[in-house]
Structure 1
């Protein structure tokens, strides 16, 4: 990961998890759910350093998601 990558956090609020495709859309990293699912299917998204291809993978507090030069850590 480059030093220029943007680090951000996402708060789950009262929810136990957020689906990976929804997180990409909510963060504005993808314009639509369909685009989010496409980049996940292409293996362009990592969760905790591993490529994740499950579009509806449940992301919980403490996990870090990386897409291109963007990185976000999910918090409770």
Structure 2
């Protein structure tokens, strides 16, 4: 079964913190949910597990939570 397509999520300012992007992209419902996903090592950035909520993302970075993927896009 093919993976779902990557959702492009435009951001107003580059860079953006991972915790903020998870909420903006709809990968986390709120900040506490984002923190829980990161602590459980369920978040990948460009194919690598990321646990830092403040990790800086730039245009082109791909964030994945399970099968859902979102790419940082310039607005």
TM-score, with length taken from structure 1:
0.85
Residue of structure 1 equivalent to 2:35? 37
User: How many residue pairs end up in the alignment?
Assistant: 74
Give the whole-Å Cα distance in 2 for the aligned partners of 1:6 and 1:70: 8
Q: Is the 8 A contact 1:21 1:37 kept in 2?
A: yes
1:12 matches 2:16 = no
Give the whole-Å Cα distance in 2 for the aligned partners of 1:75 and 1:28: 15
1:45: Cα distance to partner? Answer: 0.4
- The 5-angstrom pairing of residues 1-76 of structure 1 reads 3-13=2-12, 15-76=13-74
Aligned alpha-carbon RMSD (Å):
1.4
* Structure 2, unaligned runs of 5 or more: none
TM-score, with length taken from structure 2:
0.86
* Structure 1, unaligned runs of 5 or more: none
